[in-house]
Chain A
Amino acid sequence: MSEQKIKEMIAKTFIDIADGIESGDYGKKFTIGIAADGSEHGEENLLQAIKLAEAKGLKAVLIQGEDAHDEMEKRLEAGEIDGAVTMHYPFPIGVSTVGKVVTPAEGKTMYLATTTGTADTDRVCAMIKNAVYGIIAAKADGVENPTVGIANIDGARQCEKALSKLAEGGYPINFAQSKRADGGIVMRGNDLLQGTPDVMVMDSLTGNLMVKIFSSYTTGGGYEALGWGYGPGVGEDFDKTIMIISRASGAPLIAGAVEYAANLLKNGMNRIAKEEFKKAKKAGLDQILKEFSAPKAGAADEGEVEAPPKEIVTAQIPGIEVMDLEDAVMALWREKIYAESGMGCTGPIVRISEENKERAIEILTEKQYI
């Protein structure tokens, strides 16, 4: 970094301070766009939401028009807004939203992972990813070491196994314990109301149901008055801050979504997400996902061949197509010749003992491997 650059940074900081002294507000203000065309409660509701947000010291702007999503994306791209609050947003597969609700018992905050979108087309894999997404959103919202529980729904036990494995692999997960007498990291309905874990893992359909119940039970269901809404879209290659609300969302919840967005931006959710994904992958996330995905139909078992007794293999046969290498080894095993495959400096090779070399070449030639 040049001296000029440092000077510029110092100058910018002094300007920020001066602005702060004059306005009485010292933090960077993030601008959140609200693109909520089609709200059941009309434009007045949105304007009220903006007022409520301003009262909390936040800055929100209304994005109107038929192509509100296009306009919103354009403004995000141009940096005119830092985040957005919207509805019916088409997230790509792999992205799902982490909702935030206030639970009735003791008014505790809880993250619902997840509430819309599809983290994965496989149910259990989606729940495993949702757990990571939940941790990311909670951390980015300022919860230092969020506790994680799994809602007692179809797939909960497999998800529990997978997350334990991920934790054993080195991805730190702070598991919550159910407040019911028998405990465990699978959460019962009671735990939902009590907000036992910071992050409640579930599939996004269940989560969607939950966020609606939690935010509108006080109003009789038509107006979502409580909480922070359906939350930000989280996914591995997704780096925008886009919060979801619904047509039934009322002004207090929309203002909550603006607040949630500003918090995520302030704490750097993208950076946190990157770190978390890196850690999870290092702990074997991809392998675990593969392991826990439902088996695809039609995978036929091939006849296993038993390996002949191990020998010292110092002779090599090159020139076998790399994709056929393992088959070539099996072909030799079937003929009772001990062989190993290898990727040497000169490409793929089959290794056999010096005594078996000629015979192995004959077999492989006959079977058209070489």
Chain B
Amino acid sequence: MGGYAVLKGSSYTLAITPDMVLRSGTTQTTEKAVNPESEYLKELPKHLRSYEDAVSYLPNQVYIGNKTPEDLAAEEFPWYDKKTEGKREGKYGEIMPQDEFIGLIQICDVFDLVKLEKAFAKETGKKLAAHGLIGVERAAILDKNEDTQEEIAKLVKEEHAEPLYHDGKLVGAVKRAHDIDVNLSAHVMLENLVTKASSVLSLLHLVKTTGIDPSEIEYVIDCCEEACGDMNQRGGGNFAKAAAEVAGLVNATGSDARGFCAGPAHALLNAASLVKAGTFKAVAVTAGGCTAKLGMNGKDHVKKDMPILEDAIAGFSVLITADDGVSPQIRTDIVGKHTVGTGSSPQAVIGSLVTNPLDEAGLKLTDIDKFSPEMQNPDITKPAGAGDVPEANYKMIAALGVKRGEIERKAIPQFVKDHGLTGWAPTQGHIPSGVPYLGFAREDMLAGKIKRAMIIGKGSLFLGRMTNLFDGVSFVIEANDGSGAGETAGIDEGRIKELIGEAMREFAGSLLSK
């Protein structure tokens, strides 16, 4: 026992980007291409929320840690028509407004691809200089913008640059990084810079929430859903190191891990294993959000006269370190995996990810206090006809429990309530995948409220058309049992007796030989 890697902390951030919903979300860009005069496109702008509305949206406040999953469960559904007392800063991160996020994109641009309109840049630069985690030094780059709106419009019109809008006004552009290579087109560069910037924001918050010296982080694993590279290596990478550079993790290297929505769970397992093996002492797992999924379910939201709830670029970071004797341990010996031979039916998938590893560890379903599968916000998915995603997962877990005789059929609703969570995460694929709960799980374990949680990441690999398989991995985190403290763990009473026995025999031998 002992010597597990531990969950040292996590951060969660959002950037509210209504203008990007209109221009970068694939639901909208597809509609523009196919049906440019559609009712949806006309109606859409009226359904965009203000920054303040997004801040006072309860699920967002849960995401950054100001409210808890319990608060959310207690609130009457739906949530979009209600307001909560909201703050920009949260225990785990922040909700950044669009203008500052555009500024941060420029800070993250190393190849001079981002051009901002002079007045906008100056204004935004001031705000970022005053931002506690960004500061004067990083924000200084914004002062170098000299372009006028006309010059930027020309870049968009004539140079295939991707426009950046704020409050409906053109305030900047991302230039293409190559004339022919589609992987370096302005569109892809914007997508990748957004991912990088949101990852950087989360990493900065991770350093703040955990209090770690940035130079102590030795490795970074990025698990977002995008890929960066050029035409010769389309997904060559490496977002991880790129973000680590801006976040000031000077002693870190890193790499990207991918697996669609299951990416974060794979990445966390990698990180925990690297730490457990002693390869690195502190590993960060990080991911930024994606523009493509902004307003993904927008048509349904507009049809139902709801605000566009998918208006945020999300990010998260998690710090995994060697056992500190306090933080929850990542039980890399209780791991579920969806294998090539598992099959795709819900029973097979949940069996492979939940009951198989628990069986092997001799645990029952009810030994896991909380399960965290896909934590999609049902406020977003229900109106779009996809149902309550976390609830569907819990029902399936409970149904398996009934089959195994661990849970009574009529106790399913209670099991779902006791061992489940209400979803609050933005629907950006990898973002809701198990990880949003890590912050609360850590706190509840430190407070002794829960003992064990299972993090479950699932992925739909057939989307990439390379395989028809599903995927997923899961692992258990557990309140620290103190087994890893100290350096001589592993010496037991038997070994001590052996050592003493040896010494006594030697002593006897020396008496006899005299």
Contact = CB atoms under 8 A, between A and B. Distances in A.
Nearest to B353: A343
Contact of B429 (A277, A322, A345, A348): A345
Given A10-B500, A13-B500, A322-B395, A344 B386 contact: no
A28 B381 CA distance: 64
B496 A341 contact: no
Contact of B460 (A14, A321, A341, A344): A344
A278 B362 contact: yes
B399 A323 contact: yes
Nearest to B261: A345
Contact of B392 (A13, A326, A347): A347
A342 interface: yes
B132 interface: no
A23 interface: no
B389 A346 contact: yes
B386 A319 contact: yes
B349 A343 contact: yes
B462 interface: yes
Contacts of B362: 274, 277-278, 281
Contact of A346 (B381, B497, B500): B381
Interface string A1-28: 1110010011001100100000000000
A1 B374 contact: no
A342 B260 CA distance: 16
A343 B350 contact: yes
Given A326-B345, A342-B345, A319 B387 contact: yes
A368 interface: no
B233 interface: no
A318 interface: yes
B500 A343 contact: no
Contacts of A305: none
A27 B500 CA distance: 15
A345 B393 contact: no
Interface stretch (B60-68, B171-179, B206-214, B485-493): B485-493
Interface string B245-260: 0000000000000001
A322 B386 contact: no
B396 interface: yes
A9 B433 CA distance: 46
Contacts of B462: 314, 351
Contacts of B359: 281, 286
A37 interface: no
B472 to A, nearest CB: 8
Contacts of B486: 1-2
A282 interface: yes
Interface in B374-431: 374, 376, 381, 385-387, 389, 392-393, 395-396, 399, 404, 427, 429
Contact of B433 (A278, A342, A345): A345
Contacts of A14: 500
Contacts of B360: 278, 281-282
A93 interface: no
A345 B374 contact: yes
Contacts of A325: 345-346
B392 A342 contact: no
A1 B345 contact: no
A341 B497 CA distance: 59
A333 to B, nearest CB: 14
Given A277-B362, A343-B396, A1 B488 contact: yes
Interface string A112-141: 000000000000000000000000000000
B148 interface: no
Interface in A299-325: 313-314, 318-323, 325
A343 B385 contact: no
B125 interface: no
A135 B491 CA distance: 30
B396 A322 contact: yes
B489 A348 contact: no
A92 B162 CA distance: 71
Contacts of B500: 10, 13-14, 17
B344 A340 contact: yes
Contact of B493 (A9, A340, A345): A9
A370 interface: yes
Contact of B346 (A281, A318, A348, A370): A348
Contact of A9 (B349, B404, B458, B496): B496
Nearest to B469: A342
Given A13-B493, A325-B346, A347 B385 contact: no
A1 B386 CA distance: 51
Given A6-B491, A281-B359, A345 B458 contact: yes
A322 B496 contact: no
Contacts of A6: 488, 491, 496
Interface string A329-354: 00000000000111111111001000
A139 B486 CA distance: 34
Contacts of A341: 344-346
B396 A346 contact: no
B376 A346 contact: yes
A42 B288 CA distance: 79
A343 B399 contact: no
Nearest to A282: B360
A319 B458 CA distance: 17
B496 A13 contact: yes
B441 interface: no
A132 to B, nearest CB: 14
B458 A1 contact: no
B476 interface: no
A370 B385 contact: yes
Interface string B349-367: 1100000000110100000
Interface string A152-191: 0000000000000000000000000000000000000000
Contacts of A17: 500
B404 to A, nearest CB: 8
A363 to B, nearest CB: 16
A343 B470 contact: yes
Interface in B317-364: 344-346, 348-350, 359-360, 362
B139 interface: no
Contact of B396 (A2, A320, A348): A348
B18 interface: no
B307 interface: no
B290 to A, nearest CB: 14
Nearest to B490: A1
A52 to B, nearest CB: 30
Contacts of B315: none
B86 interface: no
A109 B32 CA distance: 85
A345 B459 CA distance: 5
Contacts of B274: none
A319 B385 contact: yes
Given A17-B500, A286-B404, A318-B385, 19 more contacts: A1-B488, A6-B496, A10-B500, A274-B362, A281-B362, A286-B359, A320-B387, A322-B346, A322-B392, A326-B345, A342-B344, A343-B344, A343-B348, A343-B349, A345-B457, A346-B261, A347-B392, A347-B393, A351-B462
6 contacts: A13-B500, A14-B500, A342-B345, A344-B458, A346-B427, A348-B346
Interface of B: 260-262, 344-346, 348-350, 359-360, 362, 374, 376, 381, 385-387, 389, 392-393, 395-396, 399, 404, 427, 429, 433, 457-460, 462, 465, 468, 470, 486, 488-489, 491, 493, 496-497, 500
5 smallest CB-CB distances across A and B, nearest first, come from A345-B261, A343-B349, A344-B460, A318-B386, A343-B346
